[in-house]
């Protein structure tokens, strides 16, 4: 019997303002707690990628966004599960306010490599810091 399960689809926002990129820190009690990430979350049934991002950013940061182009997609397998991860360039319509107790930072592209990100994000970090 095969134990293969379809990857979980996750959509994340790359929000840049004044040459700084918005990142949030995963909260205690979550997978990869303490790691920095691009805000977003799991795609729910019937949602578009854009709809998922708008919902997640509203829930996590009490902000609305304009979703633009897809920057990168990847499939990454952790020991526990696999994810299909899509990153989109987005613009905020208002200032973000963390709603889940998470830390929030604006960092330069060059500083992205100094933060601890989940392994699934590392291809995007490489793209952002070499372009």
Is the pTM here over 0.75, yes or no?
A: yes
Given the candidates 3.90.79.10, 3.40.50.2300, 3.50.50.60, 3.30.70.580, the CATH classification of the domain at 8-130 is 3.90.79.10
Q: Report whether pLDDT(108) > 70.
A: yes
Whole-number Cα distances in Å, 80 to 32, 35, 42: 12, 17, 16
pLDDT of residue 36: 97
* Contact criterion met (CB below 8 Å) for 95 and 13: no
CA distance 97 to 82: 30
pLDDT-above-70 percentage for the chain: 96
pLDDT of residue 80: 87
Q: Taking the CB of residue 95, how many other CB atoms lie within 10 A of it?
A: 9
Please, which pLDDT band fits residue 2 given cuts at 50, 70 and 90?
very low
Q: Could you state, in order of their start, the residue ranges of all structural domains in the chain? A: 8-130
CA distance 6 to 112: 30
Neighbour-count burial of 101, counting CB atoms closer than 10 A to its CB (0-12 exposed, 13-18 middle, 19+ buried) = exposed
* Contact criterion met (CB below 8 Å) for 75 and 82: yes
């Amino acid at each position: 019997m095969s134990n293969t399960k379809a990857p979980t689809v996750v959509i994340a926002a790359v929000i840049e303002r004044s040459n700084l990129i918005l990142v949030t820190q995963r909260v205690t009690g979550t997978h990869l707690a303490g790691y920095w990430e691009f805000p977003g979350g799991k795609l729910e049934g019937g949602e578009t990628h854009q709809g998922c991002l708008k919902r997640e950013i509203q829930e996590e940061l009490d902000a609305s966004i304009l979703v633009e182009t897809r920057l990168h997609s990847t499939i990454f397998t952790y020991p526990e599960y696999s994810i299909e991860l899509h990153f989109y360039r987005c613009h905020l319509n208002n200032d973000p306010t963390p709603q889940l107790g998470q830390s929030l930072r604006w960092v330069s592209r060059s500083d992205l490599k100094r933060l601890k990100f989940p392994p699934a994000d590392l291809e995007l970090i490489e793209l952002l810091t070499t372009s």
